[in-house]
Amino acid sequence: MISYIRHMVEIEKGQLLIAEPFMKDENFQRSVVLLCQQDDDGSIGILVNKEIEHDISFFLEDFSGLNIPVFDGGPVGKDHVHFLHQYPELISGGEHIIDNIYWGGDYEAAVKHIKNRSINQTRIRFYLGYSGWGKNQLRKEMKHKSWMCTEATSKLVFQTDPTLIWKNAVKKLGDEFLPMINYPLDPSFN
């Protein structure tokens, strides 16, 4: 279990938080969160693997007529839309997170490039809300083994089938974690 401990101690921007298989919090069951900001005051992340029912045009008039998926970014600030993308040359002002993953940036430029099709819609994702932790809150959750960590990759974050992100993130931790993929949500069914 040395690798589990290694994966749970360091908390840095650009890491993926992988929910442990039996997490009870419905907001985060089988979820993967990309840490976008980590400092002494706390942590901010975007939950990357929970697509919601409506597309972006349901929430933003700027995208009227476009069928672009929207994801649940987390339980905080549900009235705000965030986006992750791989287009720093077209969408200025985004914060580089890791491995060609950028958080936010010039919203008007994003809309323009999506509408004129100079952006591949599989390389930009929109999220309602975000995940946030106060000072030392995430560290405490890590000590209670609620989360495992691994470095994010654009391949995982922008995976074509978001329902596979949790499983593939667990696989990235190593062979000793593979049995977790098949655990039921409720351990009493085991």
Give per-residue pLDDT as tens, 130-165. 999 999 999 999 988 899 999 999 999 999 999 999
CA distances from 173 to 60, 147, 149, 186 (A): 37, 12, 8, 22
Q: What percent of the chain has pLDDT over 90?
A: 76
Q: Write out the E strands in the chain.
A: 15-19, 32-39, 42-47, 51-55, 69-72, 76-85, 95-98, 101-103, 124-134, 147-151
Tell me which residue has tokens 């499983």. 167
Whether 5 shows a pLDDT value over 90: the answer reads no
Identify whether the C-beta of residue 35 lies closer than 8 Å to the C-beta of residue 95. no
Gap between the Cα atoms of 12 and 1, Å rounded: 21
Which architecture characterizes domain 2-189 according to CATH? 3-Layer(aba) Sandwich (3.40)
Tell me which residue has tokens 């993929």. 181
First to last CA, the chain: 21
Give per-residue pLDDT as tens, 30-70. 999 999 999 989 999 999 999 999 999 999 999 988 889 99
Gap between the Cα atoms of 148 and 63, Å rounded: 36
Domain limits, the chain: 2-189
The percent helix, strand, coil of the chain (3-state, each to 5) is 30, 30, 35
Mean pLDDT over all residues of the chain?
Answer: 90
